[in-house]
Amino acid sequence: MGYKIVVVGATGNVGHEMLNILAEREFPVDEIAALASRRSMGTEVSFGDRTLKCQDLDQFDFTGWDMALFAVGSDATKKYAPIAAKAGCVVIDNSSLYRYDPDVPLVVPEVNAAAVDDYAKKNIIANPNCSTAQMVVALKPLHDRARIKRVVVSTYQSVSGSGKEAMDELWNQTKGMFVPGQEVAPSVYPKQIAFNVIPHIDVFLDDGSTKEEWKMVAETKKIMDPKIKLTATCVRVPVFVGHSEAINIEFEDFLDEDEARDILREAPGILVVDKREDGGYITPVESVGEYATYISRIRQDSTIDNGLNIWCVSDNLRKGAALNAVQIAEVLGQRCLKKG
């Protein structure tokens, strides 16, 4: 016997990937429903070799369904997630709404799978921010070996993290650069994204950081260890899919770069591509459509006693969102619901 699964926001980038990954990983599905807003009702989406017609989220009855994977914004989640949870359907939420709620587990299965056990407090499990998810997959095995004191991370985040309109803006601005009269002014972003980088993701906070940077700090502490000090600079770059991160790590104990490379090679969810030669590293284009978090450029930081630098790349629509949600569903099934 398998599960009755709901995908909320099935017409969006992340919802589309959730359906793909559920099929790819042969998740034990007995029945599946694709939900979207009323204006998308009847829109067809793919699930493996099947075609599903989107149903109206506003009219859907979650009673009798096992899990709902939410891939909609915080406003819609705030309205519909409690309805699903109250009906007995466990919500796995990709928005930021519940991530910092102490009664809602924030889970990256390679890092803190056991946290899923606390789902019943609200019948909700939170998926972390895309930039956090890939980073903690890389940090956890190193933290277990040498205890991380401090992390300095600079992100290079693709436009797909802002949704389809942002991807269209990059595409149209890029074309417009070469066709006089077809220039496209910024609308999704505050400045031109084509052939440019923007050191600004989400809103600015009083201390000068952005909310995206704050999220990485708060989520890393909740998922891994509240003692870890972390500072982030989050940058949007003209890449369609795939987030990259330059991560500087300071440990309590010395960790040799060769041992770190061996640890990461054995760690779940990670592929190490690290040759000190032209092309001996991963770029975001190569991560698209892949499950792994890729690690390259592993090297000692000689400016501090116990420091390492690494380069971390992942498909943000997959590990940063849809894949992590499906992995949470798998862990929830194995540890708690025990069907399929």
Is 40 assigned to a binding site? yes
* Ramachandran area for residue 48 (φ above 0: left; ψ -120 to 50: alpha; else beta): left
Contact 243, 318 (CB under 8 A): no
Catalytic residue among 54, 130, 234, 312: 130
3-state secondary structure of 235: strand
| Terminal alpha carbon distance of the chain | 5
Q: Catalytic: 243?
A: yes
Contact 320, 158 (CB under 8 A): no
> Is residue 100 classed exposed, middle or buried when 0-12, 13-18 and 19+ CB atoms within 10 A define those classes?
middle
**CA dist 100 to 17, 84, 123, 127, 223, Å?**
25, 20, 15, 11, 10
Please give the Cα distance from 121 to 264 (Å, whole number): 34
Is 162 assigned to a binding site? no
Is 157 assigned to a binding site? yes
Please give the Cα distance from 59 to 132 (Å, whole number): 34
Contact 90, 339 (CB under 8 A): no
Is 196 assigned to a binding site? no
Is 161 assigned to a binding site? yes
Please give the Cα distance from 45 to 11 (Å, whole number): 7
Is 14 assigned to a binding site? yes
Catalytic residue among 16, 143, 234, 243: 243
Q: Catalytic: 130?
A: yes
Is 160 assigned to a binding site? yes
Is 11 assigned to a binding site? yes
Is 12 assigned to a binding site? yes
Please give the Cα distance from 266 to 62 (Å, whole number): 40
List, as residue ranges, the binding site.
11-14, 39-40, 99, 157, 160-161, 236, 316
List, as residue ranges, the binding site for phosphate.
99
Tell me the catalytic residues.
Answer: 130, 243
List, as residue ranges, the binding site for NADP(+).
11-14, 39-40, 160-161, 316
List, as residue ranges, the binding site for substrate.
157, 236
